[in-house]
Amino acid sequence: MNRQLELPLWDALRAAQIMPEQANVAELLGQMEVAIAQAPEPEQLQVAGEALLRVAELCAVRAEVLITEWEEAYRDPVVESGFFADVVRQTMSVDLT
């Protein structure tokens, strides 16, 4: 396999796996297309398969991270500010006589 031609693609994929929520998938697919075109013809399918697998794994991790962030942000119930006014005691007085 011609590793020199593929090196920028694999480096970009590794960097994207570190920060999947900030990865630019369209840019990665463009780099993948260039790497496939530069690979020798017998190796093009192997390069394409490995690259597509890594991009798919990246998309899965990215989706999981984004869904988790969304769930954490919207986990609390949405209620009006006076909803608990009748049930919550805010002051207390104690008669010590």
Q: What pLDDT does 63 receive?
A: 93
Q: 12-57 pLDDT, tens per residue?
A: 999 999 998 899 999 999 999 998 998 899 889 999 999 999 999 9
Angle formed by the axes of helices 25-38 and 44-73, to 10°? 170
Spell out the domain ranges in the chain. 3-73
Give how far Cα 35 sits from Cα of 17, 20, 48, 79, Å.
18, 21, 8, 53
pTM of the model: 0.67
**For residue 47, which of 28, 33, 59 has the smallest C-alpha distance?**
33
